[in-house]
Chain A
Amino acid sequence: MGKKILLAHDHVPGIQTYEVYRKHGGYNSVEKAIKTMSPEAVVEEVKKSGLRGRGGAGFPTGMKWSFLAKPEGVPRYIVCNADESEPGTFKDRYLMSRIPHILVEGMITSSFALGVNTSYIYIRGEYFYIVNILEKAIEEAYANGWLGKNILGSGYNLDLFVHVGAGAYICGEETALLESLEGKRGNPRIKPPFPAIAGLYGCPTVVNNVETLAAVPFIVNEGGDEYAKVGIGKSAGTKLISASGHINKPGVYEIEMGITVEDFIYSEEYCGGISNGKKLKAVVAGGSSVPILPADKILNLANGEKRLMSYESLADGGFGGGTMLGSGGFIAMDEDTSIVENLFTFARFYHHESCGQCSPCREGTAWMEKILHKMIDGHATLSDIDLLWEIQAKIEGNTICPLGDAAAWPVASAIRHFRSEFEEYVKNPKAINKVTRMAV
């Protein structure tokens, strides 16, 4: 069994409640930080831990925290990004609904570290039932003196609010999230300035993913060095992976980074192999935005070594031959899956979710969906494949926020690795249309 940090007490009955959570060491990190450490020392531990953002980009959290501007007399904010909307990703939902206090604790300790007196959890609208769970946890934390005025008699004050979004993928992009939190239309901001300088209400702000903040209690309790020992190299710690698709045991798994992809897919501890005894065809390893890889490429590196579940190993091979850990949304597809139809599902999603501010993404995502739709309907020609390729290339890198890239990469990688399947599909749509479409 691999090391468990976030889900260590997942099996404990009643861990959702304050009493049980506290009995298992909950809120110790708040006590330790406030009573025995300086805020800077907490930041130092997080730096040492090598923790990287779990929201998708993998940016080192300690470094992000140290960029936070601290002008006199201006409030600072921590905003937890719980907008989790990337197709294939449902790890934050699992964590928040099972162990809500770990997020609340992580936010208190992190807020103390950054001298923040007001923090927010921005949660997607569809997670309405989790809102209740979180609000109950927050209420319990207030009642027990972990939130509010003069926490543990230290003079440190913190208020924590849950803000419910309306359910837009784009509001997971950190600056769109801030706009939405301010009550505006969720359009990403043009950067710079970055949130660390001018974020919520123009004040310095740190935006972190649920899983990132939930790792902070362990780091404070056990020390950054202990955390860094888990995992492999620059991929320190554990990662929640939400596994879905044609596997025997879909669900959320906490893995120690560095296990092989093969192990993750086939071992009984994790996915338990491909369902119905079928063969693995392809994997989207980190949520719908990351490049899709065919089975051989996801299992093995170009040099023949086994590919590992880590930031570096998954990215090995660059864009041509690798992919990304992303948000940990692991989608496995069996031999019967139509890559074209799966891509259509993704393209439809990005078209639907584009905020529409910048022309390449607004127009390009819609165009790509239409072409793929035409393909599915059996009216496309071979030149449409090239056109798709060109459209994605014109979107990528030319937009305001990374949603444009996120819409382009799946198209690019599907064509790159499965071009012949696209050609088959276009030439003989009837034969292929029998194949089941992946529901994501």
Chain B
Amino acid sequence: MAKVTIDGRTIEVPDGTTILQAARMIGPEVAPPTMCYYSKLKTSGGYCRTCLVEVTKGSEKDPRPMPKLVASCRTNVMDGMEVGNVTSPKVTEARKGVVEFLLLNHPLDCPICDQAGECHLQDLSYEHGSSKTRTDFERRTFEKIDIGEKIQLHMTRCILCYRCVKVANQITDGRVHGVINRGDHSEISTYVQQAVDNDFSGNVIDVCPVGALTDKTFRFKSRVWFTKPVNAHRNCEKCSGKVNLWYKGEEVLRVTGRKDQWGEVEEFICNTCRFDKKNTSDWTVEGPTAVNRHSVISANHYEVFKQPTEFKLNVVKPLSIEEGEQA
């Protein structure tokens, strides 16, 4: 066991735990943002550098601080380690820099991007970025590429987090998906644009933190915050069959894996569940998906509205669920 203190809060964790995992155990207030790490994908993390933290004390045995900020997703805790995340000005500065780098060539085409509303880059720049850009150079652009019939790659939006590459390597068989070219010319590519064609390829959509990999069956159908997620399941021989159905009215617009509080899918789902089962009759619906109150998706959500106690006296009368629905 190792005792680690992050932003002044101490927790005891098993040896081999990363700083990021320990921080997540303490809670979202001290958990560094992550754009590339994905707990379900081996060797993920280390690329984006948004999760950098400052280690002010290495361990009980060797209390020296670490000379550089470290990627919390790829650094293990030591007993007695002390870490600064939100409390470290160095981290705040570096993170601001990372966000600026990630946005440098990003098209910021949120108004026409299917990912808007559930995009980690939007959240990241909102929370850690600055409101102005300091570049006036032309941004990097790429042609859109179809990866098979159901998935579209819009490389212009990609932040090269390598998550989809890990999915292709680890949960689909016969890898045909990777990175070509170098540096800022790097490009996600399927081997000679060959379709990634196997039962689990659709998961690249769920792991993509931005709108670079999107579901063609959902393209431009709706903004995500106008759709309503419910938990549902079906008997599937290929995967767990546990999904979120995203409804608009009576219609299932898309099917995704269920995401946890860190934005990661709980279980990977197969392409049949994702692309081919779009009727309510295909599914056993369990009920509405819990959505974080801060998410824009909650704006139109019919989960029971909890009235904040301080508003009990009701200066403004909160909309009732039904009224909200009709509005």
Where the two chains meet, the residues of A that have a C-beta atom closer than 8 Å to any C-beta of B are 168, 170, 185, 190, 351-360, 362-367, 370, 387, 393-395, 397-400
A398-B102 contact in complex given A351-B184, A356-B160, A366-B183, C-beta closer than 8 Å: no
- Cross-chain contact B137 with A362 (CB below 8 angstroms): no
Q: How far is the CB of A361 from chain B (nearest CB, A)?
A: 8
- Cross-chain contact A363 with B69 (CB below 8 angstroms): no
Q: Is B253 an interface residue (CB 8 A)?
A: no
State the CA gap A351–B181 with chains docked (Å): 13
**B186: chain A residues within 8 A (beta carbon):** 356, 362
The DSSP consensus for interface residues of chain A is helix
State the CA gap A168–B183 with chains docked (Å): 11
- Cross-chain contact B101 with A363 (CB below 8 angstroms): yes
- Cross-chain contact A358 with B104 (CB below 8 angstroms): no
- Enumerate B124-178 residues with CB–CB distance to A below 8 Å: 134-135, 137, 159-160, 162, 178
**B178: chain A residues within 8 A (beta carbon):** 185
Among B47, B135, B183, find the residue whose CB has the most chain A CB atoms closer than 10 A.
Answer: B183
**B52: chain A residues within 8 A (beta carbon):** 398
State the CA gap A356–B179 with chains docked (Å): 10
- Cross-chain contact B68 with A398 (CB below 8 angstroms): yes
Q: Is B97 an interface residue (CB 8 A)?
A: yes
Q: What are 15 A-B pairs with beta-carbon distances under 8 A?
A: A185-B178, A185-B179, A190-B46, A356-B179, A357-B46, A359-B101, A360-B97, A362-B160, A363-B102, A363-B104, A364-B101, A370-B137, A394-B100, A398-B69, A400-B71
One of A353, A359, A364, A366 near B47 (C-beta < 8 A): A359
- Enumerate B186-221 residues with CB–CB distance to A below 8 Å: 186
Residue of B nearest to A393 (CB): B97
Q: Is B306 an interface residue (CB 8 A)?
A: no
A354-B184 contact in complex given A359-B159, A400-B47, C-beta closer than 8 Å: yes
- Cross-chain contact B47 with A357 (CB below 8 angstroms): yes
Q: Is B49 an interface residue (CB 8 A)?
A: yes
- Enumerate B67-118 residues with CB–CB distance to A below 8 Å: 67-69, 71, 74, 93-94, 97-98, 100-102, 104-105
- Cross-chain contact A367 with B74 (CB below 8 angstroms): no
**A354: chain B residues within 8 A (beta carbon):** 182-184
State the CA gap A413–B47 with chains docked (Å): 27
- Cross-chain contact A360 with B184 (CB below 8 angstroms): no
A359-B105 contact in complex given A351-B184, A366-B183, C-beta closer than 8 Å: no
Q: Is B185 an interface residue (CB 8 A)?
A: yes
- Cross-chain contact B49 with A358 (CB below 8 angstroms): yes
State the CA gap A399–B98 with chains docked (Å): 10
Residue of A nearest to B67 (CB): A397
State the CA gap A339–B184 with chains docked (Å): 25
**A370: chain B residues within 8 A (beta carbon):** 137
- Cross-chain contact A358 with B135 (CB below 8 angstroms): no
- Cross-chain contact A358 with B47 (CB below 8 angstroms): yes
- Cross-chain contact A360 with B182 (CB below 8 angstroms): no
State the CA gap A366–B93 with chains docked (Å): 20
Q: Is B48 an interface residue (CB 8 A)?
A: yes
- Cross-chain contact A360 with B98 (CB below 8 angstroms): yes
A356-B184 contact in complex given A362-B160, A398-B49, A398-B68, C-beta closer than 8 Å: yes
**A185: chain B residues within 8 A (beta carbon):** 178-179
State the CA gap A394–B52 with chains docked (Å): 12
One of A170, A358, A393 near B46 (C-beta < 8 A): A358
**A168: chain B residues within 8 A (beta carbon):** 182
- Enumerate B296-324 residues with CB–CB distance to A below 8 Å: none
Residue of A nearest to B101 (CB): A363
- Cross-chain contact B182 with A394 (CB below 8 angstroms): no
State the CA gap A356–B105 with chains docked (Å): 13
State the CA gap A366–B135 with chains docked (Å): 12
**B48: chain A residues within 8 A (beta carbon):** 358-359
**A359: chain B residues within 8 A (beta carbon):** 47-49, 98, 101-102, 159-160
Q: How far is the CB of B91 from chain A (nearest CB, A)?
A: 10
